[in-house]
Structure 1
Amino acid sequence: MSGSRPVRSILLALGLGLVALPVAAGEQQGVVELFTSQGCSSCPPADAALKSLIDEGKVVALAYHVDYWNYLGWADTLATKDNTARQYAYAKMLGRNGVYTPQAVLNGRDHINGADLKGINGKLEAMNIAGKGLAVPVDAAVREDEIDIKIGAGDGKANVVVVYFNRQQFVDVKKGENSGRKISYWHAVRDIQTIGMWDGKPASFVLPASILKEGENGGCAVLLQKMKDDETPGPILGAATVMAGNAAN
């Protein structure tokens, strides 16, 4: 389980089922969704890599804690079944027979070891050059007690997905492969919600700012994401991030 292996893997059947920070399409390199676990000895370097991406501010960066390593002796305190289900849905989309940690899914199109920061940046750059980056403008900002979301024009249809996360959390891991480590986790996802559809025309959505919760530590990302079918996510066309405690003028 522990040791020099760079990536934890598991082969399971796919059948298991406020200063606002707008992220304009032309300003960002892409979306990085890291699937990680407190019970995975290979994950802390990937968690640190995600923090580096957040600090650089060039991508929308999200950490989905999964629960399938809990049997190793430590139940991930940030894991949800929905996070695990999203990773399995991506595996289906990618044509994979299983899932692993740490896995980074890029723009909903490809995946890579989440600790490979150079590889992540390289793949995102290649996607942008190939026209597979964030092509649709998305803006999200807190104004008084509302979150205003505006999506520009583009081609096709997509879901408007809101991913709620906590900006930072410290966890004292007491058991399992990372026993004795105090780890700082960033942008850990706590809920995922589809709030509407986009049909290629400019669209606006409004949410109550109270959904950010968690005081100054809350945030959310808005993802404009195509779907391969009702259960299978596809390419992300645009994205924006909003943090609690900050407001646009």
Structure 2
Amino acid sequence: MKKIKLLPVWIALFLLEGAMAFSQNNSEKKETKGFALLELYTSEGCSSCPPADELMGRIQNEYKDSNVYVLAYHVDYWDKQGWKDIFSNPDYTKRQYEYAKFLGKEPIYTPQVIVNGKADYIASQETVVRNAIKNALSKPALTNLSLEATQNNNNMGVNYTVEGISKNSELLIAVVQKTAKSNVKRGENAHRVLSHYQIVHHLHTIDLKDKKGTVSMHLPKDFNTNDFEVIGFIQDSKTGSILGVNRADFKASSL
């Protein structure tokens, strides 16, 4: 009969603990690399949108300390239906049409959420959206982005550093209001007070020719670092895929 040599108990325990620590470290690294950028297309004139807005608010609150980011774009094609959305912008409607081409899904609709530029969902379907977030977090980012912002009155300078860019990479920087309420008097949501979250006030696009640079932006007159934040992300201009995302760190102005 062949004899089998047994390892001493203490050696076996040591190896087991080492394997568990290695597994945990790998899991943590994998989690930190994954990200989910949720781009919501919504409108105050759309009766189906308030549940989606509320869901994005809950998600933003739950994931505020992790790599999940929410951007809410208020489109303007509902503005002729009896109520003009105070946050609407035709540029965001244009961006939604661009996604329709990338994804091969027309016509556009609200409430729509696009995750990492790769897949769209009805933004009020909570289980579906949460599963999409988990799936996105399981995949590593293709670029690393760091942003440092300085406010000077109504202007802001953003220093950026990017690792892993390609020839089709663009940097987009969004100025975002974290929360707001609106008293809607007409349209499908007449006589309702709507809550909004992560409202994009401005979206600035930079063609990435260099890994480092600075961009200057004009800020909303009521901008402050408690009620607003700045989110930047790298997008492939040919496919629409989001390659990386981060929030800007604010530093004190030298003036």
TM-score by length of 2: 0.75
Q: Secondary structure at the match of 1:124?
A: helix
Q: Is the 8 A contact 1:139 1:149 kept in 2?
A: yes
**Structure 1 position 206 matched with structure 2 position 214:** yes
The equivalent position to 2:241 in structure 1, one of 235, 238, 244, is 235
The answer for unaligned runs of 5 or more in structure 2 is: 1-30
What count of residue pairs does the alignment treat as equivalent? 214
Paired residues of 1:38 and 1:178 also in contact (CA < 8 A)? yes
How far the C-alpha of 1:248 sits from its partner, in A, is: 7.3
Q: Work out whether residues 26 and 135 of structure 1, in 8 Å CA contact, stay in contact via their aligned partners in 2.
A: no
Greater RCO, 1 or 2 (C-alpha within 8 Å, sep 6+): 1
Runs of 4+ residues over 4 Å off in structure 1: none
The answer (yes or no) to whether the contact 2:35–2:245 under 8 Å persists in 1 is: no
Distance 1:227 1:218, change over 3 A: same
- Aligned ranges 1:1-249 → 2 under 5 Å: 26=32, 29-55=35-61, 56-57=63-64, 58=66, 59-129=68-138, 131=139, 134-143=141-150, 146-153=157-164, 157-197=168-208, 203-208=211-216, 211=219, 214-216=222-224, 217-228=227-238, 234-242=240-248, 246-247=250-251
Counterpart of 2:4 in structure 1 is none
Quickly say closer, same or farther: Cα 1:104–1:66, change in 2 above 3 A: same
Quote the RMSD (CA, aligned, Å): 2.5
Cα displacement (A) at 1:207: 3.0
Q: Distance in 2 between matches of 1:166 and 1:128?
A: 24
Deviation at 1:209, TM superposition (A): 7.0
Would the aligned equivalents of 2:35 and 2:244 in 1 still touch at CA under 8 Å? no
Partner letter of residue 86 of structure 1?
R
Residue 192 of structure 1 and its aligned partner are, at CA, apart by 1.9
Report the Cα distance in structure 2 between the residues aligned to 1:212 and 1:222, rounded to whole angstroms: 17
Q: Check 1:248–1:79 CA distance in 2 against 1; reply closer, same or farther (3 A cut).
A: same
Three-state SS of the structure 1 residue aligned to 2:69 is strand
Give the Cα–Cα distance (whole angstroms) in 2 for the partners of residues 220 and 110 of structure 1: 24
C-alpha separation in 2, matches of 1:118 and 1:156: 36
Larger Rg computed on CA atoms: 2
**Offset at 1:42?**
0.8
Kindly tell me: are residues 141 and 248 of structure 1, through their superposed partners in 2, closer, same or farther at Cα, counting changes over 3 Å?
farther
Q: 1:198 Cα shift? A: 5.2
Q: Offset at 1:73?
A: 0.9
Query: How much identity, in percent, do the aligned residues show?
Result: 28
Shift, 1:150, TM fit: 1.7
Which range is displaced more, 143-152 or 50-59? Answer: 143-152
Q: Distance in 2 between matches of 1:220 and 1:236?
A: 17
Q: Is the 8 A contact 2:146 2:248 kept in 1?
A: no
Aligned counterparts of 1:88 and 1:144: Cα–Cα separation in 2: 32
Deviates most, 146-155 or 72-81: 146-155
Paired with 1:177 and 1:38, the residues of 2 have a C-alpha distance of 8
CA shift for structure 1 position 142: 2.6
